[in-house]
Structure 1
């Protein structure tokens, strides 16, 4: 079994602790190790180091190699630039096919919390085995525990049981509002989409040729051609390019304790709060304040009379927002950057 760890994202929703220079996967958020190190070590305990690959962008290759001392640089799959997940999957398929390999492999995010490593690896092995069939894609579906608006969902065909079976996927559901999420969480055949997929390189290539022919040409390019053309590709997610259109997608329901750790409030599910419900990092004093998340790099930080806020101070910047608005952080950053560019270049 081969594993490709996806480590090229920007982690914008964890700003300002996660930055474009050192994004979330390179930070220690759930243990003393970084998220990338946790993911790599998890697999290293189960499979040979030679079967673990890391997909990242050129600007993060040095960070990856610094944090993963055991990783051979030949097991880096490097994007010239960030172009979203569909071009990255094409690049991964190209890597294996050019080496004459077409065995199933699994792509996993580098920044997820896993509560039960053994159950996690077992589910991935089942997914990889099922993905040996031609044209088949297999994903893991997390049995939901709350109405979550920050995750996408998967609806399977038939009422799934906890038997390790793979169920045909009926549809992928975009991140819902709270009302819809509340309905989805009570459906026995609906799961969180955790972004873990098992497939063969040829399966990716075939679906790209069918649905994204321009992108599929990546697979046959020389290295020199790839460097020139890759930055010109449109930013397209693999969900849109393949998953929402492919016929043979299956889902294995799992309950091994999982969290995306994609937002600040995710930390409240992993770490204890104080008696007033505050999660605190740094030298912070709270007065008449409850249910806040406060991380500060300042020598002294005083928070008075507020509730349900995220307050984060780092050398990168300052974030203050209601917990309920944390899903807008990414968009707000893009808007802030757009305004800054306009001010620098008024023409």
Structure 2
């Protein structure tokens, strides 16, 4: 027996969204590769550098999505490791005259070492939820003040200038990635590779354990998993990804200042992940790139308009796209709007029936 069209509509509205989250990282990865091949021939040096910086912000959003979206660890000071990576690279190359490769190692492992120490004392002590978030914000403010006051090493409020770009020797030849095109290809390749690696890790057994911990940590403990050790590992890995983003930003821009520890940037990272869709990996990357480019465009017209616009976008996503702008989140949003319309129709019909009585 054929069902009326309204039955199909209601069934489509109420059925759970199909599992297409895995499409998001793959689609974003393909888009990054395509952009890396096409955009250098379409954009000038300034616009290309703007998109490059947006891709770096996408890597920062990916690092936070791994921690908050997959493991459920909310932190308000994730840009601590972004800034430590940038300053580690800058101090090693500018103040101590080391090669960019040594600077990269210092920035990466320095940030990861701080994450290990901080995560060990907090996570193994059972600090979770808002307590962890508040402490992470306090650490961010302390590090920012340290970067401002330690002028002999960090340059104080001015920061460090003249940071060299990344370059390394390969089979007797020097590969210089400091130019506009070289930096663009480097950032796009690093983001694509780390996105693929993170996606594979999240699909592995370890990734499923992280999802279990995020859902119910006590049940994961009852199953025999050392949840604090797993959280420390993902906390360190996310700090490493953020540090790589910081190193790339310092190497590409040639300057680093205490603004990299800004709480405003830390808040924007949270909004990128929330708008893009927690735990989808590709969604936050796409949201970070799009919102960073939109911020540049809006700020060039009105410096006061961007916070209002970002707040409006965030409220719209909370109300209509709670799962973000990634594919399954859009389907959920359409269904939510459809449910609201059905509910309003039902209420109006009930009012008419009661009025007729």
The bucket for the TM-score relative to the shorter chain is under 0.3
Larger radius of gyration: 2
Task: Write 1 or 2 for the structure with the bigger share of helix.
Answer: 2
TM-score (norm 2): 0.24
Higher relative contact order (CA 8 A, sep 6+): 2
TM-score (norm 1): 0.24
